[in-house]
Amino acid sequence: MRKVTYINAWVTRPRRPPRHSSMNWKRALEQFLFSSGLAAINAVFLSFLKCGDHLIYPKPCYSGTFEFIKNTLEKFGVETDTIPAGASIEEYKKLIKSNTRMLYAETPCNPTMAITDLASLGALAKSHPQIVTAVDATFASPYLQQSLKLGMNISIHSCTKYLGGHTDLIGGAVTVDNVQLWKRLKVHSASTGALLAPFDSYLLYRGLKTLPLRVERHCKNAMAVATFLEKHPKVSKVWYPGLASHPHHNIAKKQMKDFGGMISFELPTLEQASRLVENLKIINLAVSLGGVESLIEHPATMTHGKMLMSDAERLEGNITDGLIRFSVGLEDEQDLINDLKQALDKC
Whether 6 is in a domain gets the answer no
The domain boundary, picked from 183, 208, 233, lies at: 208
Q: Measured between alpha carbons, how far is 162 from 317 in angstroms, rounded to an integer?
A: 25
Whether 124 is in a domain gets the answer yes
- Per the structure, the complete domain to which residue 275 belongs is given by 211-345
Whether 2 is in a domain gets the answer no
What is the pLDDT averaged over residues 215-244? 98
CATH number, position 37: 3.40.640.10
Q: Are 91 and 83 in contact (CB under 8 A)?
A: yes
Work out the pLDDT band at 9, boundaries 50, 70, 90.
very low
Co-location of 117 and 39 in the same domain? yes
Co-location of 271 and 304 in the same domain? yes
Mean pLDDT for the chain overall: 92
Burial class (CB in 10 A: 0-12, 13-18, 19+), 241: buried
Please write the tens of the pLDDT for every residue from 255-297: 999 999 999 999 999 999 999 999 999 999 999 999 999 999 9
- Residue 115 to residues 28, 85, 106, 186, 236, Cα–Cα distance (Å): 28, 7, 8, 30, 20
Co-location of 60 and 167 in the same domain? yes
Co-location of 177 and 38 in the same domain? yes
Write down the pTM of the prediction. Answer: 0.90
Longest pairwise C-alpha distance within the chain = 69
Whether 10 is in a domain gets the answer no
Residue 178 is which amino acid? Answer: N
- Residue 207 to residues 150, 159, 169, 327, Cα–Cα distance (Å): 25, 9, 10, 17
Co-location of 59 and 195 in the same domain? yes
Q: Measured between alpha carbons, how far is 336 from 121 in angstroms, rounded to an integer?
A: 36
- Of the candidates 79, 75, 73, the one whose C-alpha atom is nearest the C-alpha of residue 55 is 79
Whether 8 is in a domain gets the answer no
Inform me whether the pLDDT recorded for 8 exceeds 90. Answer: no
What is the pLDDT averaged over residues 21-33? 56
Judging by DSSP bridges, how do beta strands 79-84 and 132-136 pair with one another? unpaired
Whether 244 is in a domain gets the answer yes
The domain boundary, picked from 164, 193, 208, lies at: 208
Averaging pLDDT over each range in 190-199, 213-222, 315-324, which range is the top one? 213-222
Domain count, the chain: 2
